[in-house]
A and B are shown apart, each in its own frame.
Chain A
Amino acid sequence: MAEFVDATTLVLVLSLGTMAFGGVAMVAGNADDLAIRFWSAGFLLGGGGLLLLLLRGRIADVISIQVGNTIMLTGVGCLLAALVVYAQRPRFFYVVALWFVASVLLFNSVASPPILAPLHVRVLVIAGIVALSQLLAVVILSGVQFRTTRLLSVLRFSHAALGVAFAARFVYILQTHTASDYLGPYPFISSSIPNALFFMAAIFLAFVQGPTFMMLKKEQADNEAFAARKQLADEVASRWAERRLQAARLDDARAGTIEHFARGVAHDANNVIGVLQLGYGQIRDQVKRRQKVGTDALNLMETALDQARVTTSGLMALGGKEPPPLADVCIETAVDEVASMLNSTLPQTIRLELDTEPGLLAYTHRGFLISALLNLASNARDAMPRGGVLRLATQRRDRLPEGAVRIGADLAGPMVDIAITDNGYGIEPEVLSRLFRPMFTTKEHHDGHGYGLYMVQGVVDRTGAALVVETVVGEYTTMHFLMREIKRG
Chain B
Amino acid sequence: MMDATESLGAVIVEDERMFSEMLARALIDVSGLDLMARAYTVEEGFSACARHRPTMLILDLALPDGNGLDVLRALIADRPDATAIVLSAHAEDFVTPVELENNIAAVISKADAYGAVNDHVRRLVRTYVPNVEDEAALIDRLTPRELEVFNLLGEGLTNRGIAKRLSRSATTVATHRKMIAVKLRCSGAALMAMAARHRSHYAKIPS
Contacts and interface: CB of A to CB of B under 8 A. Distances in A.
Contacts of B63: 385
A401 interface: no
Contacts of A291: 151, 198-199, 201
A346 B16 CA distance: 8
A90 interface: no
Contacts, number: 125
A461 to B, nearest CB: 27
Contacts of A347: 15, 17, 40
Contacts of A273: 110-111
A444 interface: yes
Contact of B65 (A303, A385, A448): A385
Interface stretch (A10-18, A152-160, A293-301, A327-335): A293-301
B110 A270 contact: yes
Interface stretch (A53-61, A218-226, A274-282): A274-282
A271 interface: yes
A488 interface: no
A96 B131 CA distance: 110
Nearest to A279: B22
Given A300-B18, A347-B17, A290 B147 contact: yes
Contacts of A307: 18
A270 B115 contact: no
Contacts of B64: 381-383, 385, 443
Secondary structure dominating the interface of A: helix
Given A274-B113, A297-B25, A444 B16 contact: no
Contact of A385 (B40, B90, B109, B147): B40
B10 to A, nearest CB: 16
Interface string A122-160: 000000000000000000000000000000000000000
State the majority secondary structure of interface residues on B.
helix
B191 to A, nearest CB: 16
A59 B109 CA distance: 114
B127 interface: no
Interface string B97-117: 000000000000111111100
B207 interface: yes
B81 interface: no
Interface in A285-316: 286, 288-292, 294, 296-297, 300, 303-304, 307
A383 B112 CA distance: 29
Among B21, B118, B207, max chain A CB count under 10 A is at B21
Interface in A374-415: 381-383, 385-386
Contact of B22 (A289, A297, A346, A445): A297
B78 interface: no
A158 to B, nearest CB: 78
A345 interface: yes
B181 interface: no
A353 to B, nearest CB: 18
A278 B61 contact: no
A385 to B, nearest CB: 4
A266 B89 contact: yes
21 contacts: A271-B16, A271-B18, A277-B111, A278-B23, A281-B115, A282-B25, A289-B147, A290-B144, A292-B201, A294-B25, A294-B201, A294-B202, A300-B22, A304-B18, A344-B18, A349-B40, A385-B42, A386-B43, A445-B61, A447-B88, A447-B90
Interface of A: 263, 266-267, 270-271, 273-275, 277-282, 286, 288-292, 294, 296-297, 300, 303-304, 307, 344-349, 381-383, 385-386, 443-445, 447-449
Given A270-B89, A271-B16, 7 more contacts: A267-B90, A273-B110, A274-B111, A282-B26, A294-B25, A296-B21, A344-B18
